[in-house]
Structure 1
């Protein structure tokens, strides 16, 4: 009986969305915060591949980190009569009006990578950011031998991913009394801002020995600024550029997300939502620490 139940559940996930046909020619919408980042490109690729495998049409848009564009994009999705929409919020608060557009049109919404602080969202598909932050703290402390002065490059303020990674890192690093966080500042998950923020931190703290950056792009920017200084850098995302930097020694480690899997899961759960299934509030996708010893496995 159990195997039959599993088979029926799997079949339901592959069923076309004709049962909730709204009359349009687009099945799903995916509103990404940006595509100027390899991580979100990975989400796009995973979602597109899963939609193609299911025979679904998906409209994927780039908000260019502008929450107003996400409202417009959600309006486009509803005008296309999508059966479900997925949003990767530019900002967890500013995404509420975009979700409201879909709610009023009775289009089910799934959020991916970042939560939304309002409206009705069926489920949030995200990496285990808190656990990843803890892993990053442990890796950085290990590389420093449990002692040193550390800088923390935070992500984009207002995003759940930035808050959760900070929460995990802070709770993890507190268990190492020989390590002091002497500077912290947002760099908005951006490569160039990572360079600039790191430069500002160095002016005030020339004796920094370690850095945690809440994504690979900021970490790679910080690494450029640090040059040949003997500073240990731990990052977050596991993008191809980040993994290569770990392998060549530019970064000490990165906490790898699985963006293609996130994209795949988002489509899976959007289909479930379109079929009217009751969904869990959160679906966590595991993260993995990438070091020089295992980096080749992630390339």
Structure 2
């Protein structure tokens, strides 16, 4: 292979340091600022084909610019193998800190551990890593958001309502947490008649919803783990001629417009730009030797049709 994987690079550095007194290569000595004194941060985003993560990236870059921090942004395009290679590239470019929004919380673990070996602090955004030392997770309370969605559906439709759940990317911590929070309420007060992954993607949300509608004609509501899938589900529902309320998660611009237009029923709104800002500040604090909280929350709000009225 032309390029060593992140894990092999990290292991080689460990062996070098353990077996002799040699110093690691210059690119590995990244826990200090560059010779110019400027901090360089690497940001690995799961996908920029999603308005939520574009806003998250914009929050990072805007806050970094304000603080005089350089940011290198890479897009994993929802490919966990590409994300590992992207992180490898960031480490070799000499970043002082790594911001990661994982495509898959398990798959990113080796890359996080590689950064740990090189003493590069890792901050996770929106989704965490299953293994490795992450200094802070900056995210909404995804489990609480799932509960909010279920409670809203109970309030609107009553107990026992038949609900379909569209899940996010299998393996992503946000998928697990939103689903867990939702089911804590739904398994007791609703009837979840179908639950299927649509990978946080609008087109897949449309296709999966079309199939689920055919097999579940009695469905009364839909909860989607993000707005992109919710918007896809609405297209499928409209094409079927049905009128079924849909609750999303994120609060992106398209979703809020859809709510104002009377299509999407509600969304659990996050603040992705704030998540980005908080992550940059957490990375700066860690690099300055300050303690940071392991979990840094960004507030959630349920936005409904009633909220959108003038």
Q: What TM-score comes out, normalization by structure 2 length?
A: 0.85
Q: Pairwise mapping of residues 98-177 of structure 1 onto structure 2 (< 5 A)?
A: 98-176=111-189
Alignment pair present for 1:21 and 2:33: yes
C-alpha contact 2:31 2:96 (8 A) present in aligned 1: no
My pick for the range that moved more, 133-142 or 180-189, is: 133-142
Q: Is the 8 A contact 2:31 2:119 kept in 1?
A: no
Q: In the aligned structure 2, how far is the partner of 1:78 from the partner of 1:182?
A: 45
1:142 positional shift? 2.1
Pairwise CA distance, 1:157:
0.6
For 1:216 and 1:296, locate their aligned partners in 2 and report how far apart those are by CA, in whole Å.
20
- C-alpha deviation, 1:206, in angstroms: 0.8
Q: Distance in 2 between matches of 1:248 and 1:138?
A: 23
Superposition deviation, residue 22 in structure 1 = 3.9
Contact 1:190 1:218 in 2 (8 A): yes
Secondary structure of the residue aligned to 2:138 is strand
Runs of 4+ in 1 over 3 A off after TM superposition: 22-26
1:31–1:60 contact (8 Å) kept in structure 2:
yes
Matching residue within 102, 106, 118 for 1:89:
102
For 2:154, what is the secondary structure of its paired residue?
helix
Alpha-carbon separation, structure 2, partners of 1:295 and 1:169: 24
**Per the alignment, in what secondary structure is the counterpart of residue 121 of structure 1?**
coil
1:243 match: secondary structure: helix
Match of 2:249 among 223, 227, 236: 236
Q: Distance in 1 between matches of 2:243 and 2:84?
A: 45
Please report how far the alpha carbon of residue 288 of structure 1 lies from its aligned counterpart in structure 2 after TM superposition.
Answer: 0.4
Please list, as runs of the form range in 1=range in 2, the aligned pairs for 1:41-52 lying within 5 A after superposition. 41-52=54-65
Post-superposition shift, 1:293? Answer: 2.0
Q: What secondary structure sits across from 2:263 in the alignment?
A: coil
Partner of 2:261: 248
1:164-190 deviations in Å (ceiling 9; x for gaps): 1011111122342xx311000111101
User: Which has the larger displacement, 76-85 or 43-52?
Assistant: 76-85
RMSD over aligned Cα, in angstroms?
1.8
Task: Decide whether the 8 Å contact of 2:221 with 2:246 is kept in 1.
Answer: yes
Contact 2:31 2:121 in 1 (8 A): no
Higher mean alpha-carbon deviation, 256-265 vs 143-152, is at: 143-152
Q: Give the whole-Å Cα distance in 1 for the aligned partners of 2:292 and 2:87.
A: 21
1:213 to 224, 243, 246: 224
Aligned equivalents of 1:286, 1:167: Cα separation in 2: 19
Shift of residue 119, structure 1, vs aligned partner: 1.3
Structure 1: 5+ residue runs without aligned partners? Answer: 1-17
User: Which moves more between the two structures, 141-150 or 53-62?
Assistant: 141-150
In 2, the alpha carbon distance for the partners of 1:86 and 1:233 equals 32
Matched-pair contact (CA < 8 Å) for 1:255–1:287? yes
Whole-Å Cα distance in 2 between the matches of residues 22 and 117 of structure 1? 30
Bigger shift: 42-51 or 274-283?
274-283
Q: Which moved more, 1:70-79 or 1:231-240?
A: 70-79
Question: Taking structure 1 as the reference length, what is the TM-score of the superposition?
Answer: 0.88
2:280 matches 1:267 = yes
Q: Name the CA distance, whole Å, in 2 between partners of 1:262 and 1:45.
A: 10
SS in 2 for 1:229: coil
| Number of residue pairs matched by the alignment | 278
Structure 2 equivalent of residue 188 of structure 1: 199
Once the 2 structures are TM-superposed, how far is the Cα of residue 77 of structure 1 from its aligned partner? 1.9
